[in-house]
Amino acid sequence: MYDNIIIGGTYAAAGFCSGSAGKNLILSRNIYIEDYSPAFRQCRLEYNTEAGQVIYDYFKAEGIVNEGLLSPAEAAVRMYKMAEEKQWNILYQTFVSEVRQETDGYTVKVHNWEGASILHCREVIDTIPRGRILKKTFNALITTETSPGQYDGFEITKAYFNGQYILKCEIEPAASMTEARIALVKLLHSGKLKNPKLILTAVEFERRLECEQVPYCVIPSCNDENPVESFEKGFEMGRVAG
């Protein structure tokens, strides 16, 4: 029996585990930190709470904040370090098929390569909830001679490393990863960007969600502005949970 099961290996999950003294378990369907970095969400960091300042200062001390921008991949590495140092319980490559409310908490049905199993907990915190997609972009890390700015159907913003940019392509909410990738490559071939060179495409979408109503707690980190904000929200919820 866990005190809390946190769905999603996110900054909000890291914040929750930092704030909570309970027996927690993070379920991640991937092996990576699931928000910001894999979607190439390049954000300007800001903090509003003491916990936020601690994580902000940590990133700064590690030398991975440049003009307010965070190095997403380097920050992800720091999250793994934090998880290891604090010995958080994490199960990677674990998918959730059902969360059911019981008299004493919840049961969570999970699937991974060990098969299906039922986990029990007092509280569930979903940081990657389902819901209606309000906005969806497919991002890529590129180099280009086109200036940063908003263009017809896409946006170019500065990335963490000098000379690198994030290409954000707005796509239909129902578009699949395959459709998005094919459309992005077509855009690069279209001549709309000056001398574009693709470094990497995202492995997650950047999204804004209207979350489904569920009986358990939800912290949709996809709706936050930056990883510190997600961490802060998670931390506060973890602190209250005890």
Footprint on this chain of another protein (rule: CB under 8 A): 29-33, 37-38, 71-74, 76-77, 80-81, 83-84, 90-97, 111-116, 130, 141-143, 161, 163-164, 176-178, 181-182, 185, 188-189, 196-201, 203-204
Task: Provide DSSP, 48-107.
Answer: -SHHHHHHHHHHHHTT-EETTEE-HHHHHHHHHHHHHHTT-EEESS-EEEEEEEETTEEE
Nearer to another protein, 21 or 185 (CB): 185
Is residue 13 a contact partner of residue 25, using CB atoms and an 8 Å limit? no
Nearer to another protein, 43 or 73 (CB): 73
Nearer to another protein, 49 or 183 (CB): 183
Query: Residue 224, exposed/middle/buried by CB under 10 A (0-12, 13-18, 19+)?
Result: buried
| Minimum distance of another protein from residue 43's CB (angstroms) | 16
| Minimum distance of another protein from residue 126's CB (angstroms) | 10
H/E run at residue 125: strand 115-126
Rounded distance between C-alpha atoms, residue 226 and residue 41, angstroms = 8
Rounded distance between C-alpha atoms, residue 175 and residue 154, angstroms = 15
| Minimum distance of another protein from residue 214's CB (angstroms) | 11
Question: What is the residue whose two structure tokens read 């300042």?
Answer: 53
Rounded distance between C-alpha atoms, residue 144 and residue 146, angstroms = 5
| Minimum distance of another protein from residue 94's CB (angstroms) | 7
Nearer to another protein, 50 or 114 (CB): 114
Question: What is the residue whose two structure tokens read 């992800």?
Answer: 76
Nearer to another protein, 173 or 242 (CB): 173
| Minimum distance of another protein from residue 144's CB (angstroms) | 10
| Minimum distance of another protein from residue 64's CB (angstroms) | 9
Nearer to another protein, 54 or 91 (CB): 91
